[in-house]
Amino acid sequence: MSLLDIHVLGSPILRKETRPVVEFDDSLRSLIDDMFETMYAAKGIGLAAPQVGRLERLAVLDVDDNPFVIVNPEIVEAEGTVKGEEGCLSIPEIYADVERSSRVIVTALDREGKAFTIEATDLRSRCLQHEIDHLHGKLFIDYLSVLKRRSALAKWEGMRKDYPALIRNLALETEGEHHHDGEL
């Protein structure tokens, strides 16, 4: 397995539409394994393919010690709204409240291409919506008010010199170097 570089805000691939996966082979499963390893190394609860520079329509998640991969996911039902804090491994150290559907039903394929359905609430629902957004080129900052978005982008401008190639190399990031500075 290998750690993958994570693309950060400004990298054009984060704004691209992904392509449905049609072949469930060992190279796909190896990408999935690498994405899990990278998500855990980055201390995230989700990671979508564009974040590691790939356009396969898939994401990995692990909320409350329940790891799973969603390939070609679709939200087939959504209800209610709830505000909650979000972060993004591609926009390190920026956190903000985002309004999302409170409960979603998602259909997807697993690593073997077998269809499954997941019903989710709370953080798992939020994370599913955040990851599926990534698969359509959308980022959580897109939902912020003009003022909060401006403030998030101003903070990011001060940090982007840390990522001259617009990628995070997790192997080079030292423990405790980045910390949560509080909500916007």
Name residues whose C-beta falls within 8 Å of residue 153's C-beta, 6 or more positions apart in sequence: 141
CA–CA separation, 115 vs 130, rounded Å?
A: 21
C-beta closer to Zn ion: residue 113 or 173: 173
User: Binding of ligand K1U at residue 131 (CB under 6 A)?
Assistant: yes
> Structure tokens of 58?
């898939």
**Active-site residue flag, 131:** yes
Pairing of strands 96-109, 115-121: antiparallel
Residues 51-80 that bind ligand K1U (CB under 6 A): none
CA–CA separation, 131 vs 99, rounded Å?
A: 15
Residues 51-110 that bind Zn ion (CB under 5 A): 88
Q: Which of 17, 56, 77, 131 is catalytic?
A: 131
Count, residues near ligand K1U per rule CB under 6 A: 17
86 binds, among Zn ion, ligand K1U, none (CB under 5 to 8 A by kind): ligand K1U
User: Binding of Zn ion at residue 42 (CB under 5 A)?
Assistant: no
C-beta closer to ligand K1U: residue 25 or 179: 179
Q: Is 167 helix (H, G, I), strand (E, B) or coil?
A: strand
Q: Which of 8, 69, 71, 88 binds ligand K1U (CB under 6 A)?
A: 88
Give the C-alpha distances (Å, rounded to integers) separating 8 from 3, 12, 45, 117, 177. Answer: 16, 9, 17, 30, 17
Q: Which residues bind ligand K1U (CB under 6 A)?
A: 44-48, 85-90, 95, 126-127, 130-131, 134
Q: Which residues bind Zn ion (CB under 5 A)?
A: 88
